[in-house]
Structure 1
Amino acid sequence: MKLADALSLIRDIPDYPKPGILFKDITPLLADPTAYSTVIKAFASQIDDVDVIAGIEARGFIFAAAIALEKSAGFVPFRKSGKLPFETIGAKYGLEYGEDEIEVHIDAFANGKTVVIIDDVLATGGTIAAALELAERTGAVVKSVQVLFEISGLGGRELIAKRFPKIEIKSLVTS
């Protein structure tokens, strides 16, 4: 299956979870094993050797864990506040439709582990910027950020470039 065919399975859900938001529903893509495999291989093909693939809750986990297996790397989750069992640090961020906080274990990237951060969508950039901040604070060497889908009109790429100018951002599809 071609990557474009796999990505065509993403459907738009208008006004979800709030009026004015165009939600990208990836469940049809995930339900098709050939499409899902195609997307995982596309992500993995852009990653050189790294120690860890980190995924942002929740939909970033779906891709990051599979990419970690594909690359023979570890997996680290960035979770919403209060969900990790060990000592954590956190960072708050703004969303298109509110505010939230993510956390990571304080030892997740010990000894300067190299990492690629994965999420499903880059919109306003707040979630990814928070993950980059946490990775930096815990000693990670971030190689890149990769997303399935980038919504370019919301300024996320610009926000990240301003705060983290050396970080490469890769998107499988941009609208």
Structure 2
Amino acid sequence: MDDAESAEALTRVLGLIRDVPDYPSPGILFRDITPVLADAEAFATVATELAALAGAADVIVGIEARGFLIGAAAALVAGLGIVPVRKAGKLPLVADSVTYELEYGTATLELPADTLAPGARAFVVDDVLATGGTAAATCALLADAGVEVEGFGALLELTALGGRDRLAPVPVHALLRA
């Protein structure tokens, strides 16, 4: 796909993302990518575009939960494996965990045991980059495990929330911006 076709396809993807006001709490505008996932052409566009950004990564790390979906698709296209970073209590064996602040509370993420060796290179994927708290926590969790974070990729970046700044010096790639 050339640059013009890619831009056209991504514009179509943007049109499929729904705004859901006051979810999961009042004052939050949730960006629902479910229609993108349900549309085979749009989903393929997202997977292909994110896979192209993985660079020298050995593995894609998908952040719970929508990052699993688009990360797994991108990993398949890139010929890489996928490692899920999960919410607390969802993994049978945990290598490490991190608790961090969200814009509407706190959360804990866990890295599965025996999936990433020190020195591995990871490309981290999530659906939306908002304030950057979840992405930064994931990158810190990986760094603590000795994993090199090659970059972070998101389907959509909410630029007004400044999440990109929290990830420096990790290269940030967003397919779409709002």
TM-score by length of 2: 0.91
1:138 counterpart = 2:145:
yes
2:92 matched to 1:85? yes
Q: CA deviation at 1:94?
A: 1.2
CA deviation after TM superposition for structure 1 residue 108, in Å? 2.8
> CA offsets, 1:58-115, max 9 Å, x none?
0100111111111111110100011111132111111121110001024332041111
Structure 1: gaps of 5 or more residues: none
Give the deviation of 1:25 after TM superposition: 0.8
Q: Map 1:30-109; keep pairs closer than 5 Å.
A: 30-109=37-116
The Cα of 1:37 is off from its aligned counterpart by: 0.5
Extract unaligned runs of 5+ from structure 2. Answer: 1-7
How many residue pairs were aligned? 171
What is the alpha-carbon root mean square deviation over aligned residues?
A: 1.3
Match of 1:170 in 2: 173
- Check the 8 A contact 1:107/1:138 in 2, yes or no: no
Q: CA deviation digits over 1:35-60, x for unaligned, max 9?
A: 11011111112222421100000010
Q: CA deviation at 1:10?
A: 0.3
- Please give the secondary structure, in 1, of the residue aligned with 2:62: strand
TM-score for the superposition, normalised by structure 1: 0.92
SS in 2 for 1:145: strand
Q: Distance in 2 between matches of 1:27 and 1:87?
A: 29
Q: Which residue identity is paired with 1:11?
A: R
In structure 2, the partner of 1:28 is 35
Q: Which residue of 2 aligns with 1:12?
A: 19
Q: How does 1:153-168 map to 2 (within 5 A)?
A: 153-161=160-168, 165=169, 167-168=170-171
Amino acid across the alignment from 2:150: K
Q: Give the conservation status (yes or no) of the 8 Å contact 1:108–1:138.
A: no
Q: What is the rounded CA distance, in whole Å, between the counterparts of 2:14 and 2:48 in structure 1?
A: 13
Asked whether the equivalents of residues 81 and 101 of structure 1 are also in contact (C-alpha less than 8 Å), the reply is: yes
Distance in 1 separating the partners of 2:149 and 2:165: 18
